[in-house]
Amino acid sequence: MQDVRQQVVVPARAICYSGFREGQSPATQIFPSYEEIKEDLLILQPHWRYLRLYDCDQHAETVIEVIKNEGLDFQLMLGAYIEAEMNNFGCPWGGGHYTEEEIAANIERNEAKIAKLIDMANAYPDIINCLSAGNEATVEWTDHFVPVRRVIEYVRQIKSKCVQPVTFCENYVPWLNRLKPLVDEVDFISIHTYPVWEYKHIEEAMQYTKENYHAVADMYPHKQVVITEAGWTTNSDGRGIDPTNVCEQRQEAYYNDLVNWSDEEGIVTYVFEAFDELWKGSDEPMEPEKHWGLFYIDRTPKKVMQLETAGAASAD
């Protein structure tokens, strides 16, 4: 078991939440309504205490409003989704290329987002329990690359003005090398682990997740390590993920193993993710990015949640 003296975030069931439905997306600035988010949170409330939100945008504002007005028992990890501050010509899907003008505009937006994150954290300290200075912005395949020195600046800025613990959410690999200078700046380390993206069969998946976690945790024993993304998609078009390795049964198997291990070890693990999001990835309907939800886009449960939601309904 992890030493509780190292725990900045107290263990509880956690999930990544983004409530964009069909026809909605952050790119189009069409956001879920109050009633839609209320419906989502009432679905999630019986199962999870912590929610992770990716950006301090209108979506996050509405989530906080619903939690406050409806008296819901959630704690939020709130992030600022920082955009590219330099080119990444190694991005495998062709993104990551920007003009000098676009980079300058991104930096200005990033600074505004960090300022808004600070304002929201200070306005709702009873709801927002931890903060993230960005998401997957330093890994080699990202299309929104931000230099580590700039991430450090953002972390320091947030920590100087907020009482909540501060982190940066990233794939586990950069924490083993590129992000070493960031370790002593953050209050806890946040890693992402996706065995299915790394061509692991379901029988190998949980062991691989444990290896990813311990690779980082054993390197930095003085820091709490939180898993801020881990999950299993239920569809694939064959690009990057073998379609025969994804289905609802395999998602259920990985989820159960992940949650049981996290509970036993006292590891905070944000499952990715609550609901399918059709706006993500390519236009291909079977694009894996669209199908990570434990619930479909219409909010009906996938196999992993069918027994749990039926039990919650009967209890009501």
Is the per-residue pLDDT at 213 higher than 70? yes
DSSP for 133-202? EEES-SSTT-SS---HHHHHHHHHHHHHH-SS-EEEEEEHHHHTTTTHHHHTTSSSEEEEE-GGGGT--H
Residue 16, helix vs strand vs coil:
strand
Looking at this protein, which amino acid is placed at residue 297? I
Q: What is the pLDDT of residues 238-264, one digit of tens each?
A: 988 999 999 999 999 999 999 999 999
Is the per-residue pLDDT at 1 higher than 50? no
Mean pLDDT, range 148-160, rounded to an integer: 98
Whole-number pLDDT of residue 310: 61
Do 132 and 161 meet the contact criterion of CB atoms below 8 Å apart? Answer: no
Which token pair is 63?
Answer: 């989530």
Peptide bond into 273 cis (omega under 30): yes
Do 275 and 19 meet the contact criterion of CB atoms below 8 Å apart? Answer: yes
How many CB atoms within 10 Å of residue 192? 22
Do 295 and 244 meet the contact criterion of CB atoms below 8 Å apart? Answer: no
Do 158 and 118 meet the contact criterion of CB atoms below 8 Å apart? Answer: yes
15 or 282, which is more confident: 15
For the structural domain made of 4-315, what CATH number should be given? Answer: 3.20.20.80
The overall average pLDDT reported for the chain is 95
Q: How confident is the model at residue 193 (pLDDT cuts 50, 70, 90)?
A: very high
Q: What is the pLDDT of residues 295-315, one digit of tens each?
A: 999 999 999 999 776 655 555
Query: Helices (H) and strands (E) in the chain — how many of each?
Result: 9, 8
Mean pLDDT, range 82-101, rounded to an integer: 92
Which token pair is 34?
Answer: 């109050």
| DSSP-derived pairing of the beta strands 128-135 and 166-171 | parallel
* Residue whose entry in the numeric block shows the structure tokens 């580590």: 148
Model pTM above 0.85: yes
Q: What is the pLDDT of residues 232-244, one digit of tens each?
A: 999 999 988 999 9
